[in-house]
Structure 1
Amino acid sequence: MLFLIILLIIICIALALFVLVQNPKGGGLATGGSGSNMFGVQRTGDVLEKGTWILLALIVVLTLSITTIAKTGGSASGVDSKIQQQLDKTPTPSPLGGGTTAPANTPPVTNDTTKK
């Protein structure tokens, strides 16, 4: 899973570079006075545009696969489960500030305050 995250970061950086290298298409704020594409700029723009779409599709596929692996528990190492067990055992602080409460998996202790 770490490999997929590193690969995702590399693809994101490549996508940012592809977008920054592209020439503006002539819409919005980029409508200056230049009206002609000379020296093969159109072919280079096509390659960069196709590369942008491919990188975007790779980002979508990688993020969905990382999410799927994370939900199914792709990293089944003993360290993660030991940490989770330790967190489950520790008492959680009370939201009212009155000390700590019992862990979630233990039954609550009730004191019988009714008089007989």
Structure 2
Amino acid sequence: MLFLIILLIIVCVALGLFVLVQNPKGGGLATGGAGSNMFGVQRTGDVLEKGTWVLLTLIVVITLSITTIAKSGGSSTGGASKIQEHLDKTPTPSPIGNRTAPAAAPVATDTTKK
């Protein structure tokens, strides 16, 4: 699972770079400079767009894989199960805490003369 998390971070950084490099008007970093068409803006834009979709798909697949592995309890280390056992042993506190019920207020008697 650690491998998938590291892979997800790498793919996210790559996606960020792909998005930052492209510009839909052709004036981004993909251009060859001041008006020159050295790299071929149209083809570079197509490659960057396809790469963005591929990286986005990879992020979705890796994220769903991590979620599935985590829910099924497929942890490769025994440390997580020890922590879970310790959490299961600790008593859960009462939702209202350790407060006692408040004392009943004394009934007020009417001391005025009639």
TM-score by length of 2: 0.69
**Deviation digits for residues 2-42 of structure 1, max 9, x if unmatched?**
1100100110010011001001248xxxxxxxxxx961111
In structure 2, C-alpha distance between the alignment counterparts of 1:60 and 1:43, rounded to whole Å? 26
Flag the structure with larger Rg. 2
> What amino acid is the match of 1:96?
I
Q: What do residues 25-73 of structure 1 show as CA deviations (whole Å, max 9, x unaligned)?
A: 48xxxxxxxxxx9611111111111110110111111111111111111
Please give the TM-score of this superposition, normalised by the length of structure 1.
Answer: 0.68
Query: Which residue in the other structure is 1:89 paired with?
Result: 89
**Which residue in the other structure is 2:58 paired with?**
58
Distance 2:95 2:69 in 1: 34
- Superposed, which structure 2 residues align to 1:76-115 within 5 Å? 77-98=77-98
- The count of corresponding residues between Structure 1 and Structure 2 is 89
Q: What is the match of residue 9 of structure 1? A: 9
Equivalent positions of 1:5-84 (< 5 A) are 5-25=5-25, 39=37, 40-75=40-75, 77-84=77-84
Amino acid at match of 1:47: V
Q: Aligned-residue CA RMSD in angstroms?
A: 2.0
Task: Mark the runs of 5 or more structure 2 residues left unpaired by the alignment.
Answer: 27-34, 100-114
Q: Which letter does structure 1 place at the counterpart of 2:68?
A: T
Task: Give % identity.
Answer: 79
